[in-house]
Amino acid sequence: MSDDARLIANHRVHVVPVVLALANPPWQRDVWLHPSAFEDLDHVFHVLFDDFCDADEPERYLGVSLRTDEEVVLMRQLGAALNAAAAEAPDDTDAEYLQAPAWPEVVAIAGRLAQVMVANDLRELAALLDDPAVPDPYQTAPGTGLAAVLVPGDGP
């Protein structure tokens, strides 16, 4: 795997799940509204605006956490929708965000972005699996890999 591919994978492993969470209202209610949960909306904002992207200016993350111009456009729209919801949540609580009039737009844009990001990742994975430099996991030498563990009676 190239250094560029490793960089984008390391960023997307954070960005894609956050976008998926934004597109999933049941997840938001079940996880973000419970104080003992491992994830909240503050985490989402840090991932998208501070740590792994900048949803206000996503162009500079093309090739870092975003794969295509379409992802950049949708991320900018998502950033604007999140900022609009923030303006409607004066106490900055997760419950206020989920009740904000702008929140359905956040969910809709996140849904479109999630679909595009997952499709782009699947295309990248398919290309990687077609790369002759990447070993085929189904063509491993006898006695190695998972097949050696799963076939009883062939072991030592």
Query: Tens digits of per-residue pLDDT, 18-50?
Result: 999 999 999 999 999 987 877 889 999 999 999
In a domain, 155, yes or no: no
In a domain, 97, yes or no: yes
- 55-93 pLDDT per residue, tens: 999 999 999 999 999 999 999 999 999 999 999 999 999
Measure the CA–CA gap between 85 and 91, rounded to whole angstroms.
12
- Total number of domains in the chain: 1
Measure the CA–CA gap between 115 and 16, rounded to whole angstroms.
10
Owning domain of residue 11: 3-150
In a domain, 156, yes or no: no
In a domain, 36, yes or no: yes
Q: Strand, helix or coil at 35? A: coil
In a domain, 11, yes or no: yes
In a domain, 144, yes or no: yes
